[in-house]
């Protein structure tokens, strides 16, 4: 029910913001008699009563003529609502009294006899200004800006893999710009800094303003989107499910429509299973699958506090699961989480996993991290480092090459 209410408000907002002479009467006919659409009806009435020119434009439309012929009572009801602001104004101004109107439910007055609302002359407060612009190609501004990150390795660690860093704003002509550098680059100088050079060309834009008699529509603000919250509740409620995943010795319920929309790879396993109440998923443990399902419904990872003491190990398993089931956003979030949870004890295990699965960005980050002298000094004392000689000699060779490159740069 909340989803339908949110959708209705979105539609009302779009209609209210686009009211014009051609659509006013059609919209009024659509919402007439619907109690839940009173605000949209009020927007249309306010539009028609905003200025005599607006009212005249509505009266001149084809829709108004058709309603005049077919729906006299409806049109009379609408016109009475349009007259109310005028009547209230005229009480204060004491105008000459109008002749009494005959009481008839099919009463219809021709347009030239309608008592139009009394309004002040158009002003910037009552009639919004519309602007148009043109570009003069003969006036061109050029400029450049250099964005330098002094300690790129530290920034890389702070912002994570494939995140962005913004420079301070700079001006070219009368425009402000902000340079954005990705926190992943091979163009790092010997002193560990990264400099991004940006050239900007701007065509000067000359704007002028013209008046328009379109009345300002009332803004209907819909509530913020909470679809992810509703889907998360749906998963927790275990209601209306039509799929059961068999993960080890546990059955986990889900909804095929959500699975199909969010992970086509996982849905392929559902489609190929003989029965939807027994879809077997191998090579994944129960906590990892539940955490992945949480992401599929809520579009976010579970809080780190919910991952337990072995949060790093769970994040590694989630990264592999995200890669396996084609969840690219979850994969990037897991990479960033592993960068945040990095420790001397976990660095080699995560590096080995990233190398084995071909996660190049994560591999490069952890190689940069372990090649730092203070990290390397502690890492070589761990059992994981000593076991690399037998478990992954190629990775050990890459670490040694990386250390030698850093040493040669420092020297």
Q: Following DSSP, what letter does each residue of 255-301 receive, concatenated?
A: -HHHHHHH-HHHHHHHHHSS-TT-EE--S--HHHHHHHHHHHHHSSP
Per-residue pLDDT, 397: 85
229 plus 337 within the same structural domain: yes
Q: Where in the sequence is the domain holding 231, given as residue range(s)? A: 225-341
Per-residue pLDDT, 80: 67
The answer to whether position 99 is within a domain reads: no
Q: Which helix H or strand E contains 203, and what residues bound it?
A: strand 194-211
pLDDT band at 135 (very low <50, low <70, confident <90, very high): very low
The answer to whether position 109 is within a domain reads: no
pLDDT band at 140 (very low <50, low <70, confident <90, very high): low
**Reading across the β-sheet that carries 250-254, which strands appear in turn?**
250-254, 243-247, 279-280
300 plus 259 within the same structural domain: yes
CATH code of the domain in which 305 resides: 3.30.710.10
Per-residue pLDDT, 385: 84
Per-residue pLDDT, 308: 75
Q: Assign 8 to helix, strand or coil.
A: helix
242-288: pLDDT as tens digits: 999 999 999 999 999 999 999 999 999 999 999 999 999 999 999 99
Per-residue pLDDT, 284: 95
Is residue 70 scored above 50 in pLDDT? yes
147 plus 194 within the same structural domain: yes
The answer to whether position 206 is within a domain reads: yes
The answer to whether position 118 is within a domain reads: no
| Cα angle for residues 243, 248, 252 (degrees, 5° grid) | 30
10-21: pLDDT as tens digits: 787 888 788 888
Per-residue pLDDT, 89: 52
331 plus 358 within the same structural domain: no
Q: Quick check: pTM over 0.85?
A: no
304 plus 240 within the same structural domain: yes
Q: What percent of the chain has pLDDT over 90?
A: 24
22-57: pLDDT as tens digits: 888 888 878 777 767 777 788 888 888 888 888 788
When divided into structural domains, the chain yields a total of: 4
- End position of a domain, from candidates 316, 341, 366: 341
Per-residue pLDDT, 8: 75
162 plus 253 within the same structural domain: no
305 plus 261 within the same structural domain: yes
279-324: pLDDT as tens digits: 999 999 999 999 999 999 999 998 888 877 788 999 999 999 999 9
The answer to whether position 103 is within a domain reads: no
pLDDT band at 188 (very low <50, low <70, confident <90, very high): low
Per-residue pLDDT, 259: 96
The answer to whether position 116 is within a domain reads: no
* Gap between the Cα atoms of 161 and 362, Å rounded: 7
Per-residue pLDDT, 333: 92
Q: What percent of the chain has pLDDT over 70?
A: 66
251 plus 273 within the same structural domain: yes
315 plus 363 within the same structural domain: no
- End position of a domain, from candidates 93, 117, 150: 93
- End position of a domain, from candidates 66, 93, 120: 93
The answer to whether position 266 is within a domain reads: yes
77-126: pLDDT as tens digits: 777 677 665 555 544 554 445 444 444 333 343 443 344 443 444 444 44
6 plus 80 within the same structural domain: yes
């Amino acid at each position: 029910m909340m989803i339908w209410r949110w959708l209705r408000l979105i539609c009302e907002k779009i209609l209210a913001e686009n009211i014009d002479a051609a659509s006013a009467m059609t919209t009024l006919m659509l919402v007439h008699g619907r109690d839940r659409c009173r605000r949209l009806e009020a927007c249309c009435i306010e539009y028609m009563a905003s200025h005599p020119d607006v009212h005249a434009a509505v009266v001149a439309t084809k829709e108004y003529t058709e309603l005049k012929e077919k729906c006299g009572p409806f049109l009379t009801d609408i016109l009475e609502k349009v007259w109310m602001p005028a009547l209230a104004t005229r009480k204060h101004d004491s105008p000459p009294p109008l002749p009494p109107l005959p009481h008839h439910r099919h009463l219809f007055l021709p347009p030239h006899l309608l008592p139009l609302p009394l309004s002040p002359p158009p002003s910037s407060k009552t009639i919004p200004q519309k602007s148009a612009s043109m570009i003069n190609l003969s006036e061109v501004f050029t400029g450049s800006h250099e964005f330098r990150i002094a300690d790129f390795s530290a920034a890389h660690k702070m912002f994570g893999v494939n995140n962005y860093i913004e420079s301070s704003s700079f001006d070219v002509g009368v425009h402000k710009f902000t340079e954005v550098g990705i926190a992943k680059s091979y163009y790092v100088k010997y002193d560990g800094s990264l400099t991004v050079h940006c050239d900007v060309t701007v065509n000067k834009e000359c704007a002028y303003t013209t008046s328009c008699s379109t009345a300002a529509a009332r803004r209907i603000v819909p509530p913020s989107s909470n679809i992810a919250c509703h889907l998360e509740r749906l998963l927790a409620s275990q209601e209306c499910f039509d799929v059961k995943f068999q993960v080890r010795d546990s059955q986990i319920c889900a909804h095929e429509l959500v699975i199909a929309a969010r992970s086509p790879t996982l849905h392929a396993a559902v489609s190929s299973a003989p029965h939807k109440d027994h879809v077997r998923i191998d090579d994944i443990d129960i906590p990892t699958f539940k955490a992945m399902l949480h992401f599929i419904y809520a579009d976010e990872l579970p809080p780190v506090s919910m991952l337990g003491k072995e949060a790093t190990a769970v994040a590694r398993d989630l990264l592999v699961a995200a890669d396996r089931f084609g969840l690219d956003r979850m994969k990037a979030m897991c990479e960033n989480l592993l960068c945040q949870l990095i420790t001397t004890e976990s660095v080699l295990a995560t590096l080995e996993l990233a190398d084995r699965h071909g996660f190049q960005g994560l591999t490069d980050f952890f190689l940069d991290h372990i090649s730092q002298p203070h990290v390397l000094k502690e890492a070589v004392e761990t059992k994981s480092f000593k076991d690399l000689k037998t478990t992954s000699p190629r990775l050990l060779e890459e670490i040694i090459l990386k250390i030698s490159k850093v040493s040669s740069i420092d020297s």
